[in-house]
Amino acid sequence: MNQLGWIALVVANIPVYFGLGWLFFGDWDEFLESLWFWITPDIISLFRGEWEQDWWAEIRFWFWIGCCAACVFGEGWLMEQII
């Protein structure tokens, strides 16, 4: 599959990303909180007493990214098998 095919898959899956985001986070506030914890260094969260919240938020964020990537690569693999 060429680059244009991969780009088309990434764009076509935008509704899937939102759906998975809703499953993982529930609302925009939870998503933004996870993104904030991902950006914030862990040592700062530790000193603030938010290490457990940081850990859980980052895990959800990375699982969401992984699921989105798995959808795109899985669909790309299926398309290569069919075509």
pLDDT of residue 36: 94
pLDDT of residue 83: 78
pLDDT of residue 12: 96
For residues 37 and 50, give the distance between their C-alpha atoms in angstroms, rounded to a whole number: 9
pLDDT of residue 48: 93
The structure tokens listed for 26 are 């529930």
pTM: 0.87
pLDDT, block means (10 residues), the chain with 83 residues? 92 96 95 94 92 94 97 95 87
Helices (H) and strands (E) in the chain, counts: 5, 0
Phi first, then psi: give them for residue 54, nearest 5 degrees: -60, -50
- Report domain extents, the chain: 3-82
